[in-house]
Each structure stands twice: as C-alpha cells, then as structure tokens.
Amino acid sequence: MNSKAENELESFLAALGKVYQAGATIHVENLYPSVQFPVPIETPMIGPMWKWDHSQDWPVVDGRMVGKISGGMVSASASYTIDPFAADSKETFLLDHVIDGRVLYPFTGYMVLAWKTLCKIRGVDFLKTPVILENINVYSATILSKPIRLDVVITPGHGDFEILDGEQLAASGRITIPDDGKPFYYADLDAIQTSKIAERIELDTEDAYKEFLLRGYEYGPAFRGRWSLTSPVVFDLNMPPCSGIYRTCNSGEKGTLYWTGNWVTFLDSLLQTALLAERADTLRLPTRVRYLRIDPAKHLECVEERDGIQVVELRNDIATNGCIAGGVECCDLTAHTVPRRPQTAGQLYLEKLYFVKHIDDK
C-alpha cells in the first residue's frame, strides 16, 4: 500500500496487477464478498455496463482479398459447376471430347480453370493475363455423364493449386504470372529443326482425325475445328467457338491449328499434335506437363488468316520434347497408354490397308 497515493484502493489494485503481470497467481475472488447463488431477481445486469469502443475503424478482409496480400499463405478458392447438358450451357462443346466411347473432361480444361481462378483472385482480366503453369498432374479421368462441380484451391504465396472433384483430387500444379519481358524458350519457329519425315506427307483436318480415330480418339466437331451437320449441338448459338488441327505433317512436327478464341479446345489441339509426334498407334492420355506458358497478347499477334479462317503456326521439337504455337509453349508432355475397351457391335474401323498386285510377271 502507498499511503501517499490519492486513491489508496486504486493504488492497491494497480499493485496487484503488477504482481499478476510478474507471473504470480492472484485470487481476485477473495477481494469481494461471497455470493450466494442463485442471486436475487433485483440484481442488476452487468451487460449494459460494457460498451463497444468505436473510436477506431478496422477493415474486414474477405476471402477475395486474401490472394492480394503479398506473401500470404492462406488458400483462396473458387468453385465451378460444369454442366454441358443444360440447354443454355456454354460448355456444350465438352460433349465432343470423346475418348474410346466415353466423354472425358479435357486435360486442358483443368489448366484453364486454374488460369481463370488465379485471375479472379488477382482481380485481372483472364484473357489479357499471361501465366506459367508448372508440374501439372492429372490423377484420374473425369467422365462427363452428369453435371460435375470442380473446386480450385490456390495458395497465393507460391501459386500451388489443387483441383478437387468432390472429395477426390483431380489435378494439381503450380501457376504464376511471369515477369514482363521474360523470353520464350522457343522464340524462333524457324530455328526448330524438323526431320525429313516431316516433309513427306501433309495431312488436312479430315486425314489427321482419321488417324486419331484409329487410335481411339473419337473427337467430335468442337475438337476438330469445324461444325458438322450431324452434331447434336450445331444449332446451339451460346456455344463458344472450337479449335483443332488445320494442317499438319504425318509426324506432327509442323503444322497449323485453328484459332477461334476457345482456349480449352486450342490447347487440346496443341496436345493432339504432340501425341501425333510420338508416332505410337496406341491410345495414350496426357497425365502430366512439366511446363506450359500462355501469353494471350503474343498469341493474338501470331494469328494469321488463311482461306478465310484464322490459324496459328505450330512446331514440335522432338529433340527437346517441346512445342510452340503462337503465344503458347509446352515442354515435357507425359502421356500413358490406356487399354482400349472392346468394340461394341456396329463399330468397325479400317486399321490397315494392304495393296496386292493383281498382275504377276513371274
């Protein structure tokens, strides 16, 4: 106790507070008379005695602002409902991604979802923002037999992302926005050397997709770069444009791709040529890409018009296992062979054609 203090009680309580701060245990209940419970009805409430301090304003940070915090490690996410079966759906073109008789969600669809989510978190235009995706892995094929929901989770600190199909991990990787002025690995198309095989035979759209059909890729019109009168969705005015192979050599090392503004189908056609360049007759599905860079501004600069359509030049570098088309470059595509399902009745494909001479001079 301090006898010189103006208020001895306040000085005493302050001293007890300092003792408590020093680590001692204070039984403050001994300072007050014991209370018998229940208390009388006329006992006043202490709630009105406490007031909120509004002297300072504190901003509330929601989930959309988390990704903008520099160095933040809190994940930000976005959910997408994929329903190509709805009458007014803009995703009807996905029904043309048929592999071995089943409609599969495209490998490139996961890339575009991660791209859109990053731009949504950063608050920038998806069609104007370049990105780099690394170590993209797809763990299971998603069959589109009904509407699905995909959740994209991105960690802003280092760009790692995961795409969930329900409780199952469908894809993962890393996505970042590159620095301005960063050069492309394949900056010069003419510097990419092609083999002598690439100069032998040129395949048009129909020839290229006949080759894919024999391997089990039953691409519909939306993934061939053109519409067909037999397509059940040809009159869907809300459908986004499609892309595919316009011209290519039989080795897949050089060619041109349709460009109609749909990034999912365009990236898929780029991977199609990479599979063609592998020169394997088996059904192979892409499961991993080590590096993929997309620069929309550079891409539009590379678009050319031929025969009244817009196309982009393509090169596949067999030596480095990379490819480039416009503002897109891809390195180290990994594809795994999957067994073909038994053919159902009525589906016959001509896999080999033999020519036998009908005149023998011997």
Give residue 67's pLDDT. Answer: 47
Phi and psi of 291, rounded to 5°? -150, 130
Candidate from 41-50, 72-81, 91-100, 237-246 with smallest mean pLDDT: 237-246
User: Domain map of the chain by residue range?
Assistant: 65-337
Do 299 and 292 meet the contact criterion of CB atoms below 8 Å apart? no
Strand, helix or coil at 106?
coil
Q: What is the pLDDT of residue 114?
A: 95
Cα separation, 221 vs 260, whole angstroms:
13
* C-beta separation of 326 from 294 below 8 A: no
| Cα gap 110→271, rounded to integer Å | 14
Among 80, 103, 82, 99, CA closest to 232: 103
Tell me, what's the pLDDT at 229? Answer: 30
CATH superfamily of the 65-337 domain: Polyketide synthase dehydratase (3.10.129.110)
- Omega within 30 of 0 (cis) for the link into 38: yes
Of 35-44, 103-112, 241-250, 263-272, give the lowest mean pLDDT range: 241-250
Q: Nearest Cα to 142, choosing from 177, 178, 168, 172? A: 168
Supply the DSSP string of 305-337, one letter for each residue: EETTEEEEEEEEETTTTEEEETTEEEEEEEEEE
Higher pLDDT, 241 or 356: 356
Q: What is the pLDDT of residues 100-109, one digit of tens each?
A: 889 999 999 9
* % of the chain residues with pLDDT over 90: 35
pLDDT of 60 reads: 58
Confidence bin at 237 (pLDDT 50/70/90): very low
Q: What is the model's pLDDT at position 7?
A: 84
Average pLDDT, the chain: 82
Highest mean pLDDT among 54-63, 182-191, 281-290: 281-290
Minimum mean pLDDT range among 113-122, 184-193, 223-232, 242-251: 223-232
pLDDT greater than 50 at residue 240: no
pLDDT of residue 1: 62
Query: Phi, psi (5° rounding) for residue 172?
Result: -150, 170
Per-residue pLDDT tens over the stretch 255-308:
899 998 899 999 999 998 888 877 777 888 999 999 999 999 999 999 999 888
pTM across the whole model: 0.71
pLDDT bracket for residue 35 (50, 70, 90): confident
Whole-angstrom CA distances from 282 to 140, 305, 339 are: 19, 34, 8
Per residue in 3-17, pLDDT (tens digit) is: 677 788 888 888 888
| Residues 19, 352: Cα–Cα separation, whole Å | 93
pLDDT (mean) for 194-202: 71
